[in-house]
Amino acid sequence: MLDMITALLSRATLVLLAWNLRLRRRPSLVGPAVLPAASSRPCPPLTPLFYTALDALDAGLLVIDTDRRLRYLNSVAEEILQTTRQRALDRALIVLIRDYQVDTLVGEVLRDGETREMVIQPPMEGRTLRVRATPMVLDDVPVVVIMLRDVPQIGMLERARRDMVANVSHELRTPLASVKLLVETLQSNPPPAIASRMLDQMAHEVDAITQLVDELHELSQIESGRVALQLTPTQLAPVITRALERIRPQAERKMIRCTTRLPETLPLILIDDGRIGQVLLNLLHNAIKFSPNEGEIIIAAQPISVDPQGHLITGYPSPAVTLPPGHGSGDWIMITIQDSGIGIPGQDLPRIFERFYKVDRARTRNSGGTGLGLAIAKHLVEGHGGRIWATSREGHGSTFFLTLPLADT
């Protein structure tokens, strides 16, 4: 019995020894390398430890042989290329990546042994990949090791650009189609009364296109930093009064009452009054647009103090107000514009400040608007160092909040 156990143990030791030797003889990864002449020898097998280590990498990794065929890929590469090891092994690189530039890149690396890098957008879910191809020699056989990494920022920018183009064309299509139809009808010489109504409708559609183009221009100016704010110590009350005066005809048309609730005195704020007037006008315009006839809008303003953690210390009468995360500390004026309109569903609320975002297009189809107003307002308020946000209860109304810095802080 003892003999049997001893024999078994020594066999196990031998196996372990052999295994260890195999590990130590793991493929020599030397590089960058001057590659030996292309060889038709098969790529040597990689040890299990090597496979495991490669699978733990957070980047995609491919080993390509001199025939530009896949010898190995780790699990991240499987995920990036949306394939499996069984399907991918031994297949040509071009078939896997479907990008001739990468195939050419690998050819060049094999030719001169220089590491190369490029960014590609394979035709897969619009992602952007950074490709780094490095020459290596595995047990005297030249190979190219490719690292694939997602480039999220570039991908996101590219997506944002595509979304922008899609949104602009979508917003232009409706008024343009309408103008085309009206022109065609006018060409058929309708009776003067109908022609006159059509011309009014055309003027309305052209106004909508002009508004879109103006707001797009405005947004691009602001986003490219070409709008310089003329900051001066300013009294808030007259800025609010001017905005209310401008919006009054619209409010009267819907019999909406606008009330202001301002303290007797308010500290001066450091603002570009034209730009903040524009923000208030936009918020009032929305409040009227999304309110039923005979609704009510209340504009209020209060000084507030914020502690270094961004929590409200004093000032605002309602305890329900929560500042957005990361709000600056110190003293501010908080303005609120509250309406009794249709409200904004909770899931849309965090998105209304995005470019082109409109809550339920069916609901807002006839209310006009480009979905750019709040994006512009956000840029302008944040350009002053303040913040803008909203709360809402669907069917009960919305409240928009904005904070602006005092002139003497």
User: What residues line the site for ligand ADP (CB under 6 A)?
Assistant: 282, 286-287, 290, 339, 341-344, 352, 357-359, 364, 369-375, 398
Kindly provide the residue ranges of all beta strands, DSSP E only, lying in 105-189, ordered along the sequence. Answer: 116-120, 129-138, 141-150
Task: Tell me the one-letter amino acid at 112.
Answer: D
Question: Can you tell me the distance from the alpha carbon of 245 to that of 142, in angstroms, rounded to the nearest whole number?
Answer: 78
SS3 222: helix
Q: Are 68 and 106 in contact (CB under 8 A)?
A: yes
Cβ closest to ligand ADP, residue 74 vs residue 370: 370
Smallest separation, CB 344 to ligand ADP (Å)? 5
Looking at the Cβ atoms of 27 and 373, the one nearer to ligand ADP is 373
CA distances from 112 to 25, 144, 318 (A): 27, 12, 71
Q: How far is the CB of 130 from ligand ADP (least distance, A)?
A: 35
- Straight-line distance from the first to the last Cα atom of the chain, in angstroms, rounded to the nearest whole number: 90
* Residue carrying structure tokens 């849309």: 348
Q: How far is the CB of 255 from ligand ADP (least distance, A)?
A: 17
The nearer residue to ligand ADP, 7 or 213, going by C-beta atoms, is: 213
Give min distance, CB of 360 to ligand ADP, in A. Answer: 7
Determine contact, residues 310/326, Cβ cutoff 8 Å: yes
Contacts with 401 (C-beta within 8 Å, 6 or more apart), sequence order: 321, 334, 335, 336, 387, 388, 389, 390, 391
Q: Which residues of 275-302 are buried (b: 16+ CB within 10 A; e: fewer)?
A: bbbbbbbbbbbbbbbbbeeebebbbbbb
Nearest approach in angstroms of CB 346 to ligand ADP is 13
In terms of C-beta distances under 8 Å and separation of at least 24 residues, what long-range contacts does 103-111 make, across chains too?
103/68, 105/131, 105/133, 106/64, 106/68, 106/133, 106/144, 106/146, 107/68, 109/133, 109/134, 109/135, 109/144, 110/35, 110/38, 110/66, 110/68, 110/135, 110/142, 110/144
Which is nearer to ligand ADP, 74 or 282 (by Cβ)? 282
Could you tell me if 381 and 401 are in contact, meaning their C-beta atoms sit under 8 angstroms apart? Answer: no
Query: How many helices, marked H, and strands, marked E, lie in the chain?
Result: 12, 13
CB of 296 to ligand ADP, least distance (A): 13
Nearer to ligand ADP, 334 or 372 (CB): 372
Q: In the bound complex, which residue of the shown chain has the CB atom lying closest to ligand ADP?
A: 369
Min dist CB 373 to ligand ADP, Å, is 3
Q: Which is nearer to ligand ADP, 103 or 215 (CB)?
A: 215
Q: Which of residues 99 and 171 has its CB atom nearest to ligand ADP in the complex?
A: 171
Q: Which is nearer to ligand ADP, 61 or 168 (CB)?
A: 168
Give the shortest CB-256-to-ligand ADP separation in angstroms: 12
Residue closer to ligand ADP, measured from CB, 103 or 339: 339
The conformation of residue 350, written as its DSSP 8-state character, comes to G
* Closest distance of CB 81 from ligand ADP, Å: 39
